[in-house]
Amino acid sequence: MKNTTYKVYWTAEDGSARSEDYVEMVQALTRANHMRTIGMAYVAMVGELPNQVGRMGVDAVEDGRLPSGEAYTWKMRRT
């Protein structure tokens, strides 16, 4: 079984696209943050989730229920 892997992309000062692979999310997030801190442009991180099925997030809320059957109770609150 393949481990979940993460890839950090950025554009180097010479305009070339670069990337590095990571197995751990914390390492990838730390590297992405470092690349932003030192001024690299277009920094992004992506992850491959081999066991994920379907799209991320909620596809629909019908009659106040999520696809799992749980009640959808989130409300936006402004202070």
For 51-70, what is each residue's pLDDT tens digit? 766 666 656 788 888 878 88
Task: Check whether 1 has a pLDDT greater than 50.
Answer: no
Residue 20 · residue 31 · CB < 8 Å: yes
Task: Please report which confidence band the pLDDT of residue 9 belongs to, taking 50, 70 and 90 as the band edges.
Answer: very high
Question: Where along the chain do its domains lie?
Answer: 5-48
| 38 neighbors 31 (Cβ within 8 angstroms) | no
Question: Is the CB of residue 7 less than 8 Å from the CB of residue 45?
Answer: yes
- Of 11 and 25, the structure prediction assigns the larger pLDDT to 11
Distance (Å, rounded) from C-alpha 63 to C-alpha 66?
A: 9
pLDDT of residue 73: 86
State the pTM of this model.
Answer: 0.60
